[in-house]
Amino acid sequence: MANTKEASRQPHLEGAERIEYRGGALQVPDRPIVPFIEGDGTGPDIWRASVRVLDAAVQAAYGSRRGIAWLEVYAGEKAHQRLGTMLPAESVATIREHRVAIKGPLTTPVGGGFRSLNVTLRQELDLYACVRPIRYFPGVPSPVKRPQDVNIVIFRENVEDIYAGIEWPAESTGAAELRAFLADHKITIRPDAGIGIKPISQFGSKRLVRKAIQYALDHGRPSVTLVHKGNIMKYTEGAFRDWGYEVATTEFRDRVVTWDEVQRTFGGRVPEGKLLMQDSIADIMFQHLLLRPREHSVLATPNLNGDYLSDAAAASVGGIGMAPGANIGDGHAVFEATHGTAPKYANLDKVNPGSVVLSGVMML
């Protein structure tokens, strides 16, 4: 049940219950408590519109038998105004306790300033898979000729790669120490260079690809494409590719076939009932999104590639204003608007709430 502190502060929580996680599955009561973060800039505008749609959908499906008890938690500018910090520990703890949450856009500074709140939430809750389904909705303006051919789901690794935030500014003590260490290994870096480290682990790569493959199998998708820059970064992104194939050919051997096997053994045709595992260099994938999107169904990518590709794919079907997103771990998930805060449109009710509405569809 909702705890007494919550219920006294927000009477509508009386009788509502937390979502639990047992046996590898979410246990959802008839009146689950779902935390939400309005977001910054246009966040309150699009949340006000979206929550009406989500409540109406639940009402249409279940009548009075089921409903969502919304619990507001604070992050971003609203949290800073009220509590003096951009991401209160209590907010993270509340989301962790209630398992599933939804949020609007949060301010992320460019260059200096505080660290991305979105990245911090993902790392604090180990939300290792950023899931972005991207498809065309008839009537939405698009810059490409055949946007209806785009129907992909991107699984982006969410907590490693350069987003781990391991970096030192140019001419700092840390950068100097790292340059000295590298110099011992005959690697020279200019003294005025900022330095970042790009960790991609076997564990992180395999669990991301495993989730992508399982999704494809559960939803009858024809293929999973590993997207990487392994021709250049052989021991990080190249390893991501190799570890991805290893997961496919050991854990899912009876249900998948690789592109090499299709060419070598099956005459260029995927056997019926098999999931195709293939891979693509990242820059080639950008071309495929524009020219041959029907050749790809589920993409699994390291963090940075997935960030670029998600927005590029969304642009081909009308823009990120219509793109939903979810950050999913094992037993926790935060669904979110994928676009920015657009502060100049705040309080004008001009911004399309489609991204939050469709993220709510994913959540439900």
Catalytic residue among 163, 198, 215, 279: 163
Q: Token pair of 60, please?
A: 């249409």
Tokens 């140019």 correspond to 170
d(CA 141, CA 155): 25
> Is there a catalytic annotation at residue 279?
no
Q: Assess contact for 79 and 87: CB atoms under 8 A.
A: yes
Question: Could you tell me which residues are beta bridge partners of residue 224?
Answer: 277, 298
Catalytic residue among 40, 45, 279, 307: 307
Tokens 């993409």 correspond to 299
Distances (CA, A) of 94 to 14, 97, 128, 213: 17, 5, 19, 31
> Is there a catalytic annotation at residue 283?
yes
Catalytic residue among 198, 215, 229, 279: 229
d(CA 155, CA 307): 10
Residue 359's nearest CA partner among 86, 37, 117 is 37
d(CA 360, CA 353): 11
Residue 100's nearest CA partner among 18, 23, 2 is 18
Q: What DSSP state is assigned to residue 73?
A: -
With H, G, I as helix, E, B as strand and everything else as coil, classify residue 103.
strand
Instruction: Output the CA torsion sign for 34, 89, 85, 132.
Output: negative
Q: Token pair of 238, please?
A: 């190249």
The β-bridge relationship of strands 324-328 and 129-135 is antiparallel
d(CA 288, CA 316): 12
> Is there a catalytic annotation at residue 186?
no
Distances (CA, A) of 25 to 34, 329, 330: 17, 12, 9
Q: Assess contact for 238 and 230: CB atoms under 8 A.
A: yes
Catalytic residue among 30, 260, 283, 349: 283
Q: What amino acid positions are annotated as catalytic residues?
A: 163, 229, 283, 307
